[in-house]
Amino acid sequence: MSQLTDLTARRLAVAVADGQTSAVEATQAYLDAIASRDQAISAYNETFAERAIQQARSIDEARAKGAALGPLAGVPIAIKDNLATTFGRTTCSSKMLADFRAPYTATAVAKLEAAGAVILGKTNMDEFAMGSSTENSALGPTRNPWDTGRVPGGSSGGSAAAVAARLAAAAIGSDTGGSIRQPAAFCGVVGLKPTYGRVSRYGLVAYGSSLDQIGPMTRDVADAALLAGVIAGGDPRDSTCVDQSVPDYLASLETPIDGLRIGRPSEFFSEALDGEIAAAIEQACQVYRSLGATIVDVSLPHSRIDVDAKGQLSSYAVAAYYVVATAEASSNLARYDGVHYGHRTEDKVDDIVALYSRSRGEGFGDEVKRRIMLGTFALSSGYYDAYYNKALKVRRLIKNDFDTALTACDVLLAPVTPTPAFEFGEKTDDPLQMYLADVYTISANLAGLPALAIPAGLSAAGLPIGMQLIGPVFSEETLFRAAAMFEQAANLPDMKPPMIDESS
């Protein structure tokens, strides 16, 4: 058998079920990999080695007794550090929650464990999921396994890096404006943002409540389909979670896609897009045509990306998103005041207002403060109609554009990022340019649609290139099928960072 950390989650689950290996052996292999490689990457905030081995041992004992095993039995998985668990801390990579221990476990995590998954640890992220590079973490940045001088993306950068570097068989992230798909593209892995309401948000520390979704990050499409099937489904503890039956996403992966209509949004293929990414997606169109799919041109006018004479980007979607998301963040993060939750200043203060101000000033990082201030301003008296209400109207126009385009096609094919992974520090001095790193992803969140990022090749510099498929609500099954057919036919290079073989 090949090295255990090289196996996909599905193959590893089969190997454990068949007795080709044990859950303990698989878990120990990943713990050894973390000990060997994570110092260079910093994907994890915390690992649960003793608990993980105990979980794995219980699975091996159950198998020895002939008990039925779950679909993820013995598969070591990492979870983003904004998902609450009764074990370990839930820090959101923030000083504000540095020692917070949740009294409950997120539904998505509970479902993973019920399916037999072994939780290895919690992964690094941009503080409170606010960022596109994992440079905003109070615990320090995560590095891209393909080039440690470059960012892994964000905010789920730790989860993406852990999967790419073979430090977890799969991982869970959250996506508010691209925080699963963008790091998936930068790190050469698969990442799904499900339909809003497809996966329970119970136990997810809120950033933008009308935008947040939890989803899988994996090495291939089949693994993403497997994990999505486990974590999806209704939950009475989340009023936004839709109680709708979950298809067997794996069952249709091999179904041919001849006749599938794939839309190519013209607004996404302007001079704003890196030439190598544009070429990779054009090659993907050729692959899809060879599989019998039809490529049709569609328009998303309110997701248009403009480029001025200085090469600066602008977008209605970005503008609307950073009003809606920051307004919701301002509301959600008001609870962190040093009294109800979170970091409390040790300085002596004269009144409760000073206590709140000092505690929040010490506990939050610069980017979180920036977004709270933006959101508070947008919601303030005299500005609500000018900013927040107008952003909601633009959001509706964006959703209408997608609805119209998806009557002419079954799925949309689009870039994930304007460029491959950028260098550390490249965008930190210009927040607007950092925000524009998500220019191709945020519109799907505003519209509440499912979107699946998959590898599309490597750049000349050896960096991963990603593309995404976007579909109507609850069309994850179609997205997985279209992605799996491309994955099989595209003959892509092995998406394995060179550092893995060098460190072996």
Question: In Å, what is the CA distance from 277 to each residue of 26, 451, 472?
Answer: 36, 18, 24
Among residues 137, 179, 330, 475, the one annotated as catalytic is: 179
Residue type, 372: I
Laid out side by side, the sheet with 170-175 consists of 44-47, 118-123, 76-80, 170-175, 213-218, 190-193, 451-458, 464-470, 411-415, 261-265, 294-298
- Residue 455: name the closest of 469, 470, 443 by CA: 469
Question: In Å, what is the CA distance from 182 to each residue of 186, 482, 486?
Answer: 6, 19, 19
Helix (H) / strand (E) containing 44: strand 44-47
The beta strand positions in 170-260, using DSSP E, are 170-175, 190-193, 213-218
Residues 6+ apart with CB under 8 A from 328: 206, 207, 208, 209, 210, 211, 375
Q: Is 47 helix (H, G, I), strand (E, B) or coil?
A: strand
- Residue 189: name the closest of 478, 436, 416 by CA: 416
Asked if residues 43 and 167 have their Cβ atoms less than 8 Å apart, the reply is yes
Asked if residues 305 and 274 have their Cβ atoms less than 8 Å apart, the reply is no
Among residues 80, 111, 122, 193, the one annotated as catalytic is: 80
Among residues 155, 159, 174, 459, the one annotated as catalytic is: 155
Q: Which two tokens stand for residue 470?
A: 């976007």
Q: Where are the alpha helices (DSSP H) in 98-220?
A: 107-114, 157-164, 181-187
Q: How far is CA 361 from the centre of its chain?
A: 28
CA end-to-end span of the chain, whole Å?
A: 16
What is the DSSP secondary structure assignment for residue 384, as one 8-state letter? I
Q: Which two tokens stand for residue 261?
A: 């209509």
Annotated active-site residue 443? The verdict is no
CA distance 86 to 72: 21
Half-sphere exposure of residue 354: CA atoms within 13 angstroms, side-chain side:
6
Half-sphere exposure of residue 444: CA atoms within 13 angstroms, side-chain side:
38
Q: What is the CA radius of gyration of the chain?
A: 22
CA distance 54 to 24: 8
Half-sphere exposure of residue 146: CA atoms within 13 angstroms, side-chain side:
30
φ, ψ dihedrals at 218, nearest 5°: -145, 175
- Residue 407: name the closest of 247, 296, 258, 504 by CA: 296
Annotated active-site residue 348? The verdict is no
Annotated active-site residue 80? The verdict is yes
Residue type, 74: G
The count of other CB atoms within 10 Å of the CB of residue 149 is: 10
Which of the residues are catalytic? 80, 155, 179
